[in-house]
A and B are shown apart, each in its own frame.
Chain A
Amino acid sequence: MTTVRRTPVQVLLVEDSPGDVRLTREAFREANESVCLHVASDGVEAMAFLRQEGVHADAVRPDFILLDLNLPRMDGREVLALIKEDEDLRTIPTVILTTSEADADILRSYELNANAYLKKPVTLEAFENLVKSINDFWLTKVMLPQRRQRDD
């Protein structure tokens, strides 16, 4: 075993729709029991979590971020921009997961250095498959940089 992975994997889901949050949680439960899913319901809370501010002072640094674009208070594009401007946060793989399939959104996201852009599938089966794929790829196969929290 050359690849040592931390367990559980810390994932931050930035999503305002409780239905989608639950659906994502259910999908991850099926895909990988060991994923620890944190949720921020808007952009402001997401940044507070990432910067360990206020009630999130003790928040863990996520290994992976799933970011919706259309959010209250501060939208996903701003959050993405702030993450990728941040020396410390920019190395966290950030994947857009949204219902928008507008070309403008796709282009803007990659310009802001999103790591991938995924569209929310309309059927449960497709959604479960997508989450499975995310787990298989980003949370399993992809080598992530080792940072301040080492388990050894």
Chain B
Amino acid sequence: MLKLRDGEVSADSGAKYRGLLEAAPDAMVVVNQGGQIVLLNLQAEKQFGYHREELVGQPVKNIIPDGFAERLIADDLRSAEDALAQQIGTGIELVGRRKDGSAFPIEIMLSPLRSAEGVLVTAAIRDISVRKAAEQHLTQMEGSRQLVEEELRQSEERYRMLLDGIEDYAIFVMDPHGEVVSWNAGAERIKGYRADEIIGRNFSCFFPPEDVDRGRPVEVLRMTAETGRREEQGMRVRKDGSQFLASVTLTALRGPTGELRGFSEFSHDLSASKEAGAKYLGLLEAAPDAMVVVNKAGEIVLLNVQAEKRFGYYRDELLGQPVKNIIPDGFAERLVADDLRSAEDALAQQIGTGIELVGRRKDGSAFPIEIMLSPLESAEGILVTAAIRDISVRKAAEHHLAQMEGRYRGLLEAAPDAMVVVNKAGEIVLLNVQAEKQFGYHRDELVGQPVKNIIPDGFAARLIADDLRSAADALAQQIGTGIELVGRRKDGSAFPIEIMLSPLQSAEGILVTAAIRDISVRKDAEQHLREKVDELKRSNEELGQFAYIASHDLQEPLRMVASYTQLLSKRYKGQLDADADEFIAYAVDGASRMQQLIEDLLAYSRVATTGNELVDTSSEFALEQALQNLHWAIKDSGALVTHDPLPPVQADGMQLIQLFQNLVGNAIKYQSPGIPRVHISAARQGQMHWDFAVRDNGLGIDPQYFERIFGMFQRLHKRDEFSGTGVGLAICKKIVERHGGSLSVASALGQGSTFSFALAGTEMES
């Protein structure tokens, strides 16, 4: 029945169309683009043995398994319309299948039919069995005639040589009754008879006894004579009685006028390949990988269930099809000979190596595969077995890793320092552009090379386990600390570097990332600073030495000046005039003051040049010595000098005496009216030090002069108020500094002064 949807084709036009359809002499089928039958005529029902209802809505493949539906379907290269257009109007020879399963040759003619559903295809189907049979008959007849003519034309010798050359096939010729008249080497090999043993015997001896009993040999000849040619598979018997499955092709040999002259038989042993094939098939199905066997033409000849699953096809959809359908690129090419190599060589290059390609499923989706090829000898020539593995997961992992590495590389490249990643074997696995620049290498020259090439010492060693520690421990000790080493550039030049190590967990185990900083500038600066310090020290020493030598040597002539002006004054005072007396007095005063200055200058320079080591010293004893030396001054001023119990300290005893003597001497000297009071105290400061203070009730010092009073030759008073050279406190400061402390003052005018300094306690005490 017409089963178009309402409103798409009118009842009228439908009836007309149907009338045309039914009137046609050929079977007619209308198919939509989905390959489904939408309409058919009575002839079609008859031809395929179906009722109409059994076909409408069903795939046309049911009745035309191959070559029709495919012609309607769009693919990547063409639209459905285009696909169809190519087929319109041309007769296409296909195979039809009846409801009972039998096949028959058909020729179809396609024509398009526009409808609301889109383009439909009308196929006129003609059964060409008769024509085909006639054609085949003609062909066979022609073949037979040619064979006989050939046989006649060629000498028997050449013919035998030709046949004898064929070892895989038994080829022999019989007379019309089945008596063997010629025999080739292949026949001898397969059936076990020598030519002289078999010629003249009937070919029935090749049949199993039960077949002979049934008259099978005679039947076979009769059928061959009838059709001209017969192919069959059947059991055959060798000379030794053993049986084997043979594929047999018999051809009737007829003379020019059609009279039967005899038969030829071509046969070969199937059993060996059948058994091997079954075994092989079992292996194929059991394999975990998808397996596809491909011939030299690139067509799939065998596949296993995994291949079906993997690519989403049914077996039938792949067998005989180009392997390009499932592996578009890179596989078929590998099997094909080109100008440079034979097919065998092409294949040989690929055997056993994993090749990464892309597979394509039936639904068009692609997925990464790895294939392993192996050759398979067969009667058809070399076949190729391909084991196909889906490597989507591995690829995804690799991609992930690559992404991670990409991200890490980004970080690496962005780093301001040269960065090198090294594995436990001490080999460079990664580096950034700064590292390339710093060491003057190209990346390729360093990756995979020992890090020793660029950091000869101290780096690789830090990564290596020894008897005392594991590699992890070795590394752990170094993490995060700056290590100063020497880098070596490609040109061999060395430069100072500081490296910071950090661990990096990876699939390869722990890697070490080293940030490498060129510290040439810092090193140069350090070196420069060190040189400057040395220079300063040397010049200071020279200056100290100079001051000492100068003041010492100045003393000699000055002693002469002073002595003789004093002698002049002593002998001639009052004997010359008043001016002479005054002049001499100034000369004597100047000379003696200069002597005092030089004396003090010497004392000052001696603090550094002739100082003794700092040893355990009683500060109380040192103070007592100083007070002893100041005995007269104290007595004259009526000063009251008191002190705390004083501790033992680390000091140069002589200098400590001088320190107390100068400070207490000053305290008594710079006094306001009243009784001078001086107190020396010591207070513990932490574990290691004592704070000393010398406090007086004297004039006090204006804070603005605190800095100045410790300078050389600095005085706050006129000479007629207080004598002195202004060196005393400078010496005190120098002594305290030599003892590792600093001398400070706290005071205000009229409030007295306190001079403080710290000294290290003795070890026993701390």
Q: Are A122 and B599 closer than 8 Å at their CB atoms?
A: yes
Q: How far, in whole Å, are A19 and B563 apart by their CA atoms in the complex?
A: 9
Q: Are A23 and B563 closer than 8 Å at their CB atoms?
A: yes
Q: State the Cβ distance, B596 to closest chain A Cβ, in Å.
A: 9
Residue numbers in A under 8 Å from B592 (CB-CB): 123
Q: Are A127 and B563 closer than 8 Å at their CB atoms?
A: yes
Residue numbers in B under 8 Å from A124 (CB-CB): 562-564, 566-567, 570
Flag A123-149 by CB within 8 Å of B: 1 or 0 each: 111010000000000000000000000
Q: Are A125 and B595 closer than 8 Å at their CB atoms?
A: no
Decide yes or no: A99 and B566 within 8 Å by CB, A122-B599, A123-B595 being known contacts.
no
Q: How far, in whole Å, are A63 and B555 apart by their CA atoms in the complex?
A: 31
**A17, A20, A123: the one within 8 Å of B562 (CB):** A123
Q: How far, in whole Å, are A23 and B568 apart by their CA atoms in the complex?
A: 12
Flag B554-596 by CB within 8 Å of A: 1 or 0 each: 0110111011101100100000000000000000000010010
Residue numbers in B under 8 Å from A51 (CB-CB): none
Q: How far, in whole Å, are A19 and B570 apart by their CA atoms in the complex?
A: 17
Q: How far, in whole Å, are A17 and B563 apart by their CA atoms in the complex?
A: 14
Answer whether residue A85 sits at the interface, using C-beta atoms and an 8 A cutoff: no
Answer whether residue A84 sits at the interface, using C-beta atoms and an 8 A cutoff: no
Closest to B556 in A: A99
Q: State the Cβ distance, B588 to closest chain A Cβ, in Å.
A: 9
Q: How far, in whole Å, are A124 and B558 apart by their CA atoms in the complex?
A: 12
Residue numbers in A under 8 Å from B558 (CB-CB): 122
Residue numbers in B under 8 Å from A17 (CB-CB): 556, 560
Q: State the Cβ distance, B653 to closest chain A Cβ, in Å.
A: 16
Q: How far, in whole Å, are A120 and B595 apart by their CA atoms in the complex?
A: 14
Residue numbers in B under 8 Å from A120 (CB-CB): 559
Q: State the Cβ distance, B64 to closest chain A Cβ, in Å.
A: 130
Residue numbers in B under 8 Å from A127 (CB-CB): 563
Q: How large is the interface on A (under 10, 10 to 19, 20 to 34, 35 or more residues)?
A: 10 to 19
Q: Are B567 and A99 closer than 8 Å at their CB atoms?
A: no
Q: State the Cβ distance, B254 to closest chain A Cβ, in Å.
A: 147
Q: How far, in whole Å, are A123 and B593 apart by their CA atoms in the complex?
A: 11
Q: Which of A2-57 contact B (CB under 8 A)?
A: 17, 19-20, 23, 26
Q: Are A122 and B595 closer than 8 Å at their CB atoms?
A: yes
Q: Are B567 and A19 closer than 8 Å at their CB atoms?
A: no
Decide yes or no: A99 and B562 within 8 Å by CB, A122-B595, A123-B595, A124-B567 being known contacts.
no
Flag A99-113 by CB within 8 Å of B: 1 or 0 each: 100000000000000
Q: State the Cβ distance, A68 to closest chain B Cβ, in Å.
A: 11
Closest to B552 in A: A99
Q: Are A26 and B567 closer than 8 Å at their CB atoms?
A: yes
Q: Are B555 and A19 closer than 8 Å at their CB atoms?
A: no
Residue numbers in A under 8 Å from B556 (CB-CB): 17, 99
Q: How far, in whole Å, are A109 and B170 apart by their CA atoms in the complex?
A: 137
**B555, B564, B566: the one within 8 Å of A125 (CB):** B566
Q: State the Cβ distance, A60 to closest chain B Cβ, in Å.
A: 29
Residue numbers in A under 8 Å from B570 (CB-CB): 124
Q: Are B564 and A19 closer than 8 Å at their CB atoms?
A: yes
Q: How far, in whole Å, are A98 and B564 apart by their CA atoms in the complex?
A: 18
Q: Are B555 and A123 closer than 8 Å at their CB atoms?
A: no
Q: State the Cβ distance, A98 to closest chain B Cβ, in Å.
A: 11
Q: Are A99 and B555 closer than 8 Å at their CB atoms?
A: yes
Decide yes or no: A122 and B562 within 8 Å by CB, A99-B555, A99-B556 being known contacts.
yes
Q: How far, in whole Å, are A123 and B559 apart by their CA atoms in the complex?
A: 7
Q: How far, in whole Å, are A19 and B592 apart by their CA atoms in the complex?
A: 18
**B560, B566, B595, B599: the one within 8 Å of A19 (CB):** B560
Residue numbers in A under 8 Å from B567 (CB-CB): 23, 26, 124
Residue numbers in B under 8 Å from A19 (CB-CB): 560, 563-564
Residue numbers in A under 8 Å from B564 (CB-CB): 19, 23, 124
Residue numbers in A under 8 Å from B562 (CB-CB): 122-124
Q: How far, in whole Å, are A120 and B562 apart by their CA atoms in the complex?
A: 13
Closest to B602 in A: A101
Closest to B568 in A: A124
Q: State the Cβ distance, A48 to closest chain B Cβ, in Å.
A: 26
Q: How far, in whole Å, are A125 and B562 apart by their CA atoms in the complex?
A: 10
Q: How far, in whole Å, are A122 and B179 apart by their CA atoms in the complex?
A: 161
Q: How far, in whole Å, are A19 and B562 apart by their CA atoms in the complex?
A: 12
Q: How far, in whole Å, are A120 and B555 apart by their CA atoms in the complex?
A: 11
Q: How far, in whole Å, are A123 and B560 apart by their CA atoms in the complex?
A: 9
Residue numbers in A under 8 Å from B559 (CB-CB): 99, 120, 122
Q: How far, in whole Å, are A120 and B558 apart by their CA atoms in the complex?
A: 13
Q: How far, in whole Å, are A99 and B599 apart by their CA atoms in the complex?
A: 13
Kindly name the residue among B558, B564, B595 whose own CB sees the greatest number of chain A CB atoms within 10 A.
Answer: B564
Q: State the Cβ distance, B162 to closest chain A Cβ, in Å.
A: 129
Q: State the Cβ distance, B366 to closest chain A Cβ, in Å.
A: 100
Q: How far, in whole Å, are A59 and B566 apart by their CA atoms in the complex?
A: 34
Q: State the Cβ distance, B480 to closest chain A Cβ, in Å.
A: 55
Residue numbers in A under 8 Å from B595 (CB-CB): 122-123
Residue numbers in B under 8 Å from A26 (CB-CB): 567
Residue numbers in B under 8 Å from A122 (CB-CB): 555, 558-559, 562, 595, 599
Q: How far, in whole Å, are A124 and B599 apart by their CA atoms in the complex?
A: 16
Residue numbers in B under 8 Å from A123 (CB-CB): 562-563, 566, 592, 595
Closest to A120 in B: B559
Interface residues of A (CB under 8 A from B): 17, 19-20, 23, 26, 99, 120, 122-125, 127
Task: List 9 other contacts, CB 8 Å, given A19-B563, A122-B559.
Answer: A19-B560, A23-B564, A23-B567, A26-B567, A122-B562, A122-B599, A123-B563, A124-B562, A124-B564
Interface residues of B (CB under 8 A from A): 555-556, 558-560, 562-564, 566-567, 570, 592, 595, 599
12 A/B residue pairs, CB under 8 Å, sorted by A: A17-B556, A17-B560, A19-B560, A23-B567, A99-B555, A120-B559, A122-B562, A122-B599, A123-B595, A124-B562, A124-B567, A125-B566
By Cβ-Cβ distance, the 5 closest A-B pairs, closest first, are A124-B566, A124-B563, A19-B560, A122-B559, A122-B595
